[in-house]
Amino acid sequence: MAEKSWVDFAQFALNLVLAVVTISLFVQGMRDRRRIAEDRRREQAAKISVHRFEHTEQTRPDSWRILGTRVEIRNDSDASISRVHAVHMTLPWWHDYLDARGRTDVDPYRQQPIRFKDHAEPGVNDISIPPGQSVLYEGPPLPGQTILLYFTDGAGIPWVKRDGQLWRYSRDTHWLSRLYQWMYFTRGLQWLVRWPLPYARWRFNKTAPRVPVSARIARFLHGTTPVPAGEGDPWLMPRHASKRDWPYQPWINGILSDRTEKKETSTSRDEC
């Protein structure tokens, strides 16, 4: 009897190991397929290029003057791109961004849309570029140091390109986040999962601009920073900013703005 028990236990252990190995191989296969699909998606987007040329004139032996700028957005892929929109901007340093935070009269990026040749309205993202073709801007100098390009590839995926770097405009959500969001919006389960966000807001209001762990958990569960302004776009991250904390900047800005408003209201009441 004891020998049979050991045989049953060994069989159970073997089945358990095989199950773990099977699940591990399945998960790894899903990751590989997801990575291959992402590489294929990026393949077309990587073939969209931005070329900028400055027309200059030598005014003195050691100085030059910029007379105009030429910008070409070229599609070297095998599929059309659509919703093309470009702006010229200056990526600020972190201290300049902090100085402009909370001010409506200052744009630290100084963004301005580019008006392409034969397209009437700048900033209207209805421009399409067929394979092997391009759109041009040729005119007065553009003060922005960087060109930010938005476009949608042939598969309908939106992209952003800046200084040779490429980002998907939307990102995939972890399956745990999707499960949490399903529970969050399901009647009868809300009482079980609603508490992390109110706690994160309460905690963040006390610690901002430092980001508490509860806020990082809330962002993971909701798939994005849970504030109306969303989260900081990676292509707009200022120089020397914290990559880890940058997504929370709109949340931090809102908290600091509320603090300033409450302080001003309290001061005005004391004066009265």
Burial zone of 81 (CB within 10 Å; 0-12 exposed, 13-18 middle, 19+ buried): buried
Label residue 34 exposed, middle or buried (CB < 10 Å: 0-12, 13-18, 19+): exposed
Residues 130-155: b if buried by 16+ CB within 10 A, e if exposed: eeeebbebeeeebebebbbbbbbbbe
pLDDT for residue 191: 82
* pLDDT, tens digit (0-9, with 9 covering 90-100), for 201-211: 999 999 988 99
Instruction: Give residue 106's pLDDT.
Output: 76
Query: What is the structure's pLDDT at 30?
Result: 67
Q: What is the 3-state secondary structure (H, E, C) of 124-186?
A: CCCEEECCCCEEEEEECCCCCCEEEEEEECCCCCEEEEECCEEEECCCCCCHHHHHHHHHHCC
pLDDT computed for residue 9 by the predictor: 67
Residue 74 pLDDT: 94
pLDDT of residue 62 exceeding 70: yes
CATH number for the 46-168 domain, one of 3.40.1000, 1.20.58, 2.60.40, 1.10.3470? 2.60.40
Average pLDDT over residues 47-60: 88
* φ, ψ of residue 221 in degrees (nearest 5): -65, -40
Q: pLDDT averaged over the chain? A: 84
Angle among Cα 212, 213, 218 to the nearest 5 degrees reads: 105
Mean pLDDT for 147-153 is: 92
How many angstroms separate the CA atoms of 48 and 150, rounded? Answer: 11
Phi, psi (rounded to 5 degrees) for 195: -70, -30
Question: Each residue of 118-134: pLDDT tens digit?
Answer: 775 655 557 889 999 99
Percent above pLDDT 70 for the chain: 86
Cα–Cα distance measured from residue 205 to residue 255, given in angstroms and rounded to the nearest whole number? 6
Indicate the domain borders of the chain: 1-45, 46-168, 175-264
Binning pLDDT at 50, 70 and 90, where does residue 3 land?
Answer: low
pLDDT at 248: 93
pLDDT exceeds 80 at position 184: yes
pLDDT for the residue numbered 245: 93
**Cα 164 from Cα 146, distance rounded (Å):** 11
Q: Whole-angstrom Cα distance, residue 107 to residue 101?
A: 9
